[in-house]
């Protein structure tokens, strides 16, 4: 290769290496021929762990099991499902975490051999932004409701509460006093619900400090220690390291409390509550809260983050706990996912940026 050709090749290599999107090339057998730095960062593998190995390791099941047959069928029939057509797919990072990607694949030839080039864009931040937008729309609806009922209901409720307390103090019969106390308790329940609505609807001033995740989780678990013990729920803590996030400690603890109490309510006859924390330099912080309780019906799984939707018995839940929890997670630039199987249990998985990343982008 002459000097000019070598300079051109080096320039092209530098351009590809500095591209924002991931670029992966594979041969006709699905073996990775080259990757750029962006692809390495997306998938978390080193270059040596990728080049010369099957591209299947970058795909979750069942795509990884079907990919070889797809390439073979394409080369025979020339009927494309992905090649030449960009679409959204799921990739698989090192360690098994799935990542949403936009993938565009093209076909070319080099030295007479078929070569496929995939250009990949990480959609994680976009999905978080879309989820935040959906949550904001729901909260906007709640704010309209709240504006209408806070004054019309809140003021008379306070009057009723005051007279109920006065009535209780004036009664001598224990049964009558208890009846007055029930009135007060139910009025307080209504006013607490109104306050919850106000807290959700009002924009909150963000607080950004370094928060130790395990410490906040332990504090939340300690708060419910007696409830968990009385229900014979075993707590299994699985903490790897001592990761930190940048955020509001009180709001994060509120979110953990919501998830823990939901898990406890799903196991009235006992079970296991597994709380896991994992931190990696690439993926940030992963937290999971998993129970062995009733589980969630498939038709309800897609609605659990809707305001006022609850699977609990009438009077036992407001349907706002998970709405609040999701809002808190999104405000911390995180994501929340749920998996559940009826009669086996439910797992909520949270992903947050690592403290260093969050600090740089705050």
> 244: how many CB neighbours lie within 10 A of its CB?
21
Model's pTM, two decimal places?
0.53
Helix/strand/coil for 268: coil
Per-residue pLDDT at 277 exceeds 90: yes
Query: Is-contact 116 83, C-beta < 8 A?
Result: yes
What does the alpha-carbon distance between residue 223 and residue 352 come to, in Å, rounded to a whole number?
23
CA 235 to chain centre: 22
Segment 130-144 mean pLDDT: 64
What does the alpha-carbon distance between residue 199 and residue 196 come to, in Å, rounded to a whole number?
5
Q: Which residue has the higher pLDDT, 48 or 199?
A: 48
pLDDT band at 213, cuts 50/70/90? very high
pLDDT in tens, 279-303: 865 668 999 999 999 998 888 888 8
Would you state the pLDDT for residue 314? Answer: 53
Tell me the Ramachandran region of residue 244: left when phi exceeds 0, alpha when psi lies from -120 to 50, beta otherwise: beta
Would you state the pLDDT for residue 53? Answer: 92
What is the sign, positive or negative, of the torsion defined by CA atoms of 330, 349, 229, 188? Answer: positive
Residue corresponding to tokens 């069942």: 62
Q: Which residue has the higher pLDDT, 60 or 150?
A: 60
114 is written with which tokens? Answer: 């078929």
Per-residue pLDDT at 30 exceeds 50: yes
pLDDT band at 306, cuts 50/70/90? confident
Q: Which residue has the higher pLDDT, 212 or 150?
A: 212
Would you state the pLDDT for residue 69? Answer: 82
pLDDT in tens, 168-211: 889 888 898 899 898 988 888 887 777 666 665 555 566 678 89
Cis amide bond preceding 216, omega within 30: no
What does the alpha-carbon distance between residue 322 and residue 302 come to, in Å, rounded to a whole number?
12
> Where is 15: in which H helix or E strand?
helix 3-17
pLDDT band at 338, cuts 50/70/90? very high
- DSSP symbol at 54: B
pLDDT band at 361, cuts 50/70/90? very low
What contacts 229, CB < 8 A, 6 or more positions away? none
């Amino acid at each position: 290769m002459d000097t000019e050709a070598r300079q051109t090749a080096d320039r092209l290599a530098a351009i590809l290496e500095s591209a924002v999107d991931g670029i992966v090339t594979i041969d006709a057998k699905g073996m990775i021929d080259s990757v750029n730095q962006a692809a390495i960062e997306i998938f978390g593998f080193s270059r040596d762990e990728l080049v010369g190995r099957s591209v299947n390791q970058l795909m979750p099941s069942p795509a990884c099991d079907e990919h070889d047959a797809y390439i073979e069928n394409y080369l025979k029939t020339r009927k494309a499902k992905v090649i030449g057509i960009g679409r959204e797919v799921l990739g698989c990072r090192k360690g098994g975490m799935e990542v949403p990607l936009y993938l565009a694949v093209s076909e070319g030839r080099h030295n007479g051999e078929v070569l496929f080039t995939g250009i990949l864009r990480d959609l994680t931040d976009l999905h978080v932004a879309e989820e935040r937008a959906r949550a904001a729309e729901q909260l906007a609806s709640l704010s309209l409701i709240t504006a209408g009922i806070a004054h019309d209901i809140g003021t008379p409720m306070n009057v009723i509460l005051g007279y109920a307390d006065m009535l209780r103090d004036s009664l001598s019969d224990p049964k009558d006093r208890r009846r007055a106390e029930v009135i007060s308790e139910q009025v307080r329940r209504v006013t607490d619900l109104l306050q919850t609505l106000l807290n959700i609807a009002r924009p909150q001033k963000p607080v950004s400090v370094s928060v130790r995740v395990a410490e906040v989780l332990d504090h939340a678990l300690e708060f419910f220690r007696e409830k968990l013990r009385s229900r014979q729920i075993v707590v299994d803590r699985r903490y790897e390291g001592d990761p930190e996030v940048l955020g509001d400690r009180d709001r994060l603890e509120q979110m953990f409390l919501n998830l823990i109490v939901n898990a406890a309510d799903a196991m009235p006859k006992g079970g296991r509550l597994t709380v896991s924390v994992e931190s990696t330099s690439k993926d940030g912080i992963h937290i999971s809260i998993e129970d062995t309780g009733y589980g969630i019906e498939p038709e309800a799984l897609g609605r659990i983050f809707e305001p006022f939707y609850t699977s609990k018995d009438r009077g036992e839940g407001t349907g706002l706990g998970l709405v609040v929890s999701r809002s808190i997670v999104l405000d911390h630039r995180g994501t929340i996912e749920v998996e559940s199987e009826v009669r086996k249990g439910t797992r909520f998985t949270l992903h947050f940026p690592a403290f260093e990343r969050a600090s740089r982008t705050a």
